[in-house]
């Protein structure tokens, strides 16, 4: 009896599978245009994305990188105004590159350069705007971005915001020289604000975790000062 019941269940399952298969086949047969049209549409979208990246985005990024070369030279020579607007006759400054190639990697990097230029020119609020628009990647640039924003807030006298960004720079990733550098800035500004406990924590972390960095070599005198 049990064997007959199992056989009946197996037969029912087989019938269900056949029915589902028939229904699916029937759907495809009745809707061939829709099915194949959808498949062709997906392939077409993939092809368009591939073409955009290889024949539009990458060439524009290379073009923007070439345009940025003279601005970078002026930046390295501390000619920040010229780097922003007029590196040399017939060449683009960082602001032009942002306007003309804003969606490229070079356009994005130009936002960081522009932020640092304005920071050095004493236009701290403008510097913050450009730095905040800069999209970071990897482990180094997020630290540098947060640290530079902290510097701008410190120059504006907004020490609470500066401390927040110095702490963010120190905690974003562990790159010994940069992390210890912004821990030192955080500690020194905390000390200036009279928060000796936070300063001691920062200095102690430098001594423990980053003793061989430039910030760590003379850290004992800072620790003694706030104990």
Looking at the structure of the chain, the number of domains it has is 2
Residue-level pLDDT at 212? 94
Q: Are residues 149 and 102 both part of a single domain? A: no
Q: Is residue 193 part of a domain?
A: yes
Do 211 and 203 touch, CB atoms closer than 8 A?
Answer: no
- pTM assigned to the model: 0.74
90 within some domain: yes
Residue 2 lies in a domain: no
Give the mean model confidence (pLDDT) for residues 86-93: 81
| CATH code of 159's domain | 1.25.40.10
Task: Give whole-number Cα distances, 111 to 96, 134, 192, 205, in Å.
Answer: 11, 5, 31, 32
Same domain (yes/no): 148, 213: yes
Distance CA 144, CA 219 (A): 22
Same domain, yes or no: 156 and 189 = yes
Nearest in space to 183 (alpha carbons), one of 154, 203, 211, 207: 203
Residue 102 domain-assigned (yes or no): yes
pLDDT digits (tens, 9 = 90+) for 144-198: 999 999 999 999 999 999 999 999 999 998 899 999 999 999 999 999 999 999 9
CB atoms under 10 Å from CB of 160, counted, come to: 9
DSSP secondary-structure letter at 34? H
Q: What is the pLDDT of residues 109-135, one digit of tens each?
A: 899 999 999 999 999 999 999 999 999
Q: 165 with 113, same domain?
A: no
**Percent of the chain clearing pLDDT 90 (strictly above):** 57
Q: Are residues 127 and 226 in the same domain?
A: no
Q: Which domain holds residue 212?
A: 143-227
């Amino acid at each position: 009896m049990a064997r007959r019941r199992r056989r009946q269940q197996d037969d029912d399952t087989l019938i269900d599978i056949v029915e589902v298969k028939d229904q699916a086949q029937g759907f495809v047969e009745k809707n061939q245009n829709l099915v194949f049209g959808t498949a062709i549409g997906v392939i077409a979208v993939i092809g368009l994305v591939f073409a955009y990246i290889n024949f539009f985005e990458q060439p524009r990024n290379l073009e923007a990188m070439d345009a940025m070369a003279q601005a970078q030279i002026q930046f390295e020579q501390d000619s920040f105004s010229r780097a922003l607007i007029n590196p040399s006759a017939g060449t683009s400054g960082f602001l032009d590159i942002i306007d003309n190639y804003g969606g490229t990697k070079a356009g994005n990097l130009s936002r960081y350069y522009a932020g640092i230029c304005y920071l050095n020119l004493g236009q701290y609020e403008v510097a913050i705007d450009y730095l905040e628009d800069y999209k970071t990647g990897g482990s180094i640039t997020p630290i540098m971005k947060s640290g530079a924003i902290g510097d701008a807030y410190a120059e504006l006298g907004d020490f609470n915001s500066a401390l927040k960004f110095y702490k963010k720079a120190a905690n974003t990733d562990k790159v010994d020289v940069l992390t210890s550098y912004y821990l030192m800035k955080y500690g020194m500004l905390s000390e200036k604000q009279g928060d000796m406990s936070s300063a001691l924590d920062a200095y102690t972390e430098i001594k423990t975790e980053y003793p061989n960095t430039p910030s760590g070599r003379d850290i004992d005198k800072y620790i003694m000062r706030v104990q």
